[in-house]
Amino acid sequence: MLHVIFYCLSLTLYNIVAGEGSSYCKKFTNDCHAMEHQTESGTALAVVPYTEDSLLPHHRPTRDFHLGGHDIHIQQDWGSLGVAAVVWDAAIVLCEYLELHPEVVGQKQVVELGAGTGLVGIVASYLGGHVTVTERREAMPNLRKTVNSNTVDSCPGSITAKELDWTTDLSPHPQYDVILGADIVYIEDTFQALLRTLVHTAREDTVVLLSCRIRYDRDLHFLTLLESHFVVEQIHYDKSRDIKIFSAKKIKTKT
């Protein structure tokens, strides 16, 4: 029964963080209820077949993608690093958007904030961007490993990994042509630090693209905060994944 409880708690956490309403979440919820019924009736849990396909996406040890013209292999580590070491739908949607609009990042100086596995930054480099993927110190070894394992010789751009903590001194960090963020708007305690990081790393002509699922009213609150310094507009909506992409540009100062 403990196995069932752990499975159900894991599912609940994923649904809260990911906000998933898709078919696989419904499937696993049904499976969970079925296992509870089997346990209560005395049926051994060992009869429930295990396959990697039956794992929630964030529990799979690896995920593979073909984006930006290249195969990408991502090793996930939910157990050790949680949300910073798995691929979320918002990252996939942003990658697909960049594939359709490669001019956004091509030959531009690009930074990805809260890069996690670095998927978005990797794809941006494949599309010709000169990319810096950034994360907190504890997530850097996994990020560097993922970036190094997906570097290709034929890449028209470049990519490097660099530590960036939104709560610390930002003066060593430059401004960029493009700022990318995928699912980095979800913890309200980080909103002010994220905002100051965006303000610091953006010029008036910098393009900011934020890909996210709006799960709670507090997420909309961040967009309101953002509008105090940036002109914000929604430029894309992936209905199947319920992911929105917002574009932001700094409000021009009056001279």
Q: How far is the C-alpha of 134 from the C-alpha of 160, rounded, in Å?
A: 9
pLDDT at 73: 97
> Across residues 235-251, what is the average pLDDT?
97
Amino acid at 102: P
pLDDT digits (tens, 9 = 90+) for 12-32: 444 444 554 444 444 444 444
User: Do residues 118 and 160 touch, judged by C-beta distance below 8 A?
Assistant: no
Q: How far is the C-alpha of 178 from the C-alpha of 124, rounded, in Å?
A: 10
User: Do residues 164 and 113 touch, judged by C-beta distance below 8 A?
Assistant: yes
Amino acid at 105: V
Which of the two residues, 137 and 60, has the higher pLDDT score?
137
Which segment of 144-148, 161-165, 193-197, 215-219 scores lowest on mean pLDDT? Answer: 215-219
> Across residues 172-187, what is the average pLDDT?
96
% pLDDT > 90, the chain: 68
Within a 10 A sphere around the Cβ of 157, how many other Cβ atoms? 21
pLDDT digits (tens, 9 = 90+) for 68-98: 999 999 999 888 888 888 999 999 999 999 9
β-bridge partners, 209: 180, 247
Q: Residue 53: pLDDT band by 50, 70, 90 thresholds? A: low
Q: Which of 176, 175, 177, 248 is nearest to 211 (CA)?
A: 248
pLDDT at 80: 82
Q: How far is CA 102 from the centre of its chain?
A: 19
Q: How far is the C-alpha of 138 from the C-alpha of 39, rounded, in Å?
A: 39
Structure tokens at 165: 């903590």
User: Do residues 185 and 209 touch, judged by C-beta distance below 8 A?
Assistant: no
pLDDT digits (tens, 9 = 90+) for 191-238: 999 999 999 999 999 999 999 999 888 899 999 999 999 999 999 999
What residues contact 59, with CB distance under 8 A and at least 6 apart? 10, 76, 78
Structure tokens at 254: 């009056």
pLDDT at 6: 41
β-bridge partners, 246: 210, 234
pLDDT at 11: 45
Which segment of 31-35, 185-189, 194-198 scores lowest on mean pLDDT? Answer: 31-35
pLDDT at 255: 67
pLDDT at 23: 43
pLDDT at 41: 43
CA dihedral 233, 238, 241, 244 (to 10 degrees): -10
% pLDDT > 70, the chain: 78
